[in-house]
């Protein structure tokens, strides 16, 4: 039985719990046995089923030797302090994205994993999504020829649910750029690699929130570029929440959702379409299954390495720097 301790039992922990249950129903023996949340009302429903703590440090200090891994679902500024302390105490760590509030904090996590020989993975959900895998294959296998450019867009869904409104505090979330754009920045990193440079225009919508709206151009070798937009000022995700287009020499791929409609197609230069849409489970399912597989089989994480997650933080730090400089091109 794989025993898990969740720290931070808010919004995203619901998806994690659902996924652990899904895996358990499939015969993968995984169970949440301990939970910590600073708001007692957020652990009330776990009473009698799990060991309950308040601050995450209480759980870490009391569960040594009892858990196979700690699942960090805390606000972003606490990811690195919690992960480093956990690994120094001997825990393996699965940590929500973004890895950390900045690259120095992300580096501290990589160092702690090495120092303690612990299994650290950042839950970069989108790179685990089978749709992302299909895009990676098209690019890596040049199925429609050489890539010319790509456009990754994501808007909507103001995160009004968060504890003390931490999402709207730049020092705790890194703003929409680090929080929401991370999904596309990491998908881009996993499909195309780390870009050479970035230009970014961005705006702030609420005092102290950092950048809430942004438009980026990421530059790669050979004139290839990826444009990307992020915006969490629109209240819901009903219209055009996310779309991805990759333009190749001999056609393009389109992935998008509009209302309850979805399209994922490859179109060749003659306009012939191949439907790429396949039924699949949530991204969380694949990321958790992979982490547990590596843990149980004593394998190193080689698909979503901590260093790659740190690169995704670095990419976004460069975009924010470019926005600070009025859109100047900044080396990543
Ligand atoms: N992968 C995804 O699709 C996805 C989606 C949403 C959020 N996230 C990430 O998950 C993380 C959490 O976001 P959320 O939306 O669940 O936020 P949230 O505010 O809903 O949940 C965070 C929880 O941490 C608790 N907390 C705060 N300080 C604590 C402490 N010292 N000890 C114990 N508990 C503490 C809060 O009470 C809260 O319940 C963020 O990093 C966010 O970026 C990822």
Q: Are 195 and 157 in contact (CB under 8 A)?
A: no
Averaged pLDDT for residues 110-119: 98
Question: What's the confidence (pLDDT) of residue 240?
Answer: 60
Q: pLDDT tens digits for 227-282?
A: 999 999 988 766 667 899 999 999 999 999 877 788 999 999 999 999 999 999 99
Q: Which tokens belong to 122?
A: 């950042």
Instruction: Give 7's Cβ-side CA count (13 Å radius).
Output: 31
Helices (H), the chain: 11-25, 56-62, 79-88, 103-116, 125-128, 130-140, 170-173, 175-179, 181-192, 283-296, 306-324
Torsional class of 48: left (φ above 0), alpha (ψ -120 to 50), beta (otherwise): left
- The crossing angle, in degrees rounded to 10, of helices 181-192 and 306-324 is 120
Q: Is the CB of 60 inside a 6 Å radius of any atom of ligand 1?
A: no
Residue nearest to atom 34 of ligand 1 (CA): 37
Q: Is the CB of 38 inside a 6 Å radius of any atom of ligand 1?
A: yes
Residue nearest to atom 7 of ligand 1 (CA): 12
Written in H, E and C, the secondary structure of 240-273 is: CCEEEEEEECCEEEEEEEECCEEEEEEEECCCCE
Question: What's the confidence (pLDDT) of residue 317?
Answer: 98
**Residue 296 scores a pLDDT above 80:** yes
Residue nearest to atom 21 of ligand 1 (CA): 10
Nearest atom in ligand 1 to the alpha carbon of residue 55 is 32
Q: Are 194 and 324 in contact (CB under 8 A)?
A: no
Averaged pLDDT for residues 21-40: 98
Q: Which of 35-39, 146-150, 236-240 is least confident?
A: 236-240
Q: Where are the domains of the chain?
A: 2-125, 128-284+312-331
Q: What percent of the chain stands above pLDDT 90? A: 94
Question: What's the confidence (pLDDT) of residue 258?
Answer: 75
Helix (H, G, I), strand (E, B) or coil at 141: coil
Q: Is the CB of 96 inside a 6 Å radius of any atom of ligand 1?
A: yes
Averaged pLDDT for residues 36-64: 98
Q: In what order do the strands lie in the sheet with 273-275?
A: 273-275, 261-268, 251-258, 242-248, 147-155, 225-231, 213-219, 197-203, 330-331
Question: What's the confidence (pLDDT) of residue 157?
Answer: 82
Return the DSSP state at 301. P
Residue 251: strand pairing partners: 248, 268
Q: Which tokens belong to 113?
A: 């994993």
Task: Kindly indicate whether the domain formed by 128-284+312-331 is annotated with CATH number 3.30.360.10.
Answer: yes
Q: What percent of the chain stands above pLDDT 70? A: 99
**Confidence class of residue 174 from pLDDT cuts 50, 70 and 90?**
very high
Return the DSSP state at 25. H
Return the DSSP state at 163. G
Residue 30: partners with Cβ closer than 8 Å, 6 or more residues away: 1, 2, 4, 20, 23, 24, 292
**Residue 95 scores a pLDDT above 90:** yes
CATH number of 2-125: 3.40.50.720
Question: What's the confidence (pLDDT) of residue 41?
Answer: 98
**Residue 226 scores a pLDDT above 90:** yes
Residue whose CB lies within 8 A of the most ligand 1 atoms, among 96, 98, 157, for a mutation test: 96
CA distance 67 to 225: 44
Residue nearest to atom 24 of ligand 1 (CA): 8
CA distance 278 to 257: 14
Residue 93: partners with Cβ closer than 8 Å, 6 or more residues away: 69, 70, 72, 83, 86, 87, 109, 113, 118, 119, 120, 121
Q: Which tokens belong to 6?
A: 């969740």
Averaged pLDDT for residues 197-208: 97
């Amino acid at each position: 039985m794989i025993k898990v301790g969740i720290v931070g039992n808010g919004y995203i922990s619901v998806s994690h719990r659902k996924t652990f249950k899904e895996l358990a129903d499939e015969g993968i023996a995984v169970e949440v046995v301990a939970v910590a949340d600073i708001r007692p009302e957020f652990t009330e429903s776990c009473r009698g089923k799990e060991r309950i703590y308040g601050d995450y440090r209480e759980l870490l200090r009391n569960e040594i030797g009892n858990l196979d891994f700690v699942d960090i679902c805390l606000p972003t500024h606490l990811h690195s302090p919690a992960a480093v302390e956990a690994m120094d105490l001997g825990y393996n760590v699965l940590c929500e994205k973004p890895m950390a509030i900045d690259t120095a904090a992300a580096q501290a996590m990589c160092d702690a994993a090495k120092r303690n020989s612990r299994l650290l993975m950042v839950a970069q959900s989108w790179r685990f999504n089978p749709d992302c895998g299909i895009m990676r294959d098209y690019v890596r296998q040049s199925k429609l020829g050489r890539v010319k450019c790509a456009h990754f867009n994501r808007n909507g869904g103001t995160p009004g649910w968060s504890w003390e409104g931490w999402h709207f505090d730049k020092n705790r979330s890194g703003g929409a750029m680090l929080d929401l754009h991370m999904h596309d920045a990491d998908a881009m990193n996993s499909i195309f690699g780390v870009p050479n440079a970035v230009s970014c225009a961005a705006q702030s919508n609420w005092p102290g929130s950092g950048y809430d709206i942004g438009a980026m151009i990421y530059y790669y070798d050979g004139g290839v570029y990826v444009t990307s937009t992020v915006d969490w000022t629109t209240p819901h995700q009903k219209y055009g929440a996310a779309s991805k287009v990759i333009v190749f020499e001999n056609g393009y791929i389109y992935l998008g959702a509009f209302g309850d409609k979805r399209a994922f197609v490859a179109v060749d230069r003659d306009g012939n379409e191949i439907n790429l849409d396949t039924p699949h489970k949530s991204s969380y399912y694949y990321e958790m299954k992979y982490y547990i597989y590596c843990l149980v089989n004593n394998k190193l994480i080689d698909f979503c390495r901590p260093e790659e997650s740190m690169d995704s933080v670095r990419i976004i730090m460069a975009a924010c720097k470019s926005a600070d400089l009025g859109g100047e091109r900044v080396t990543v």
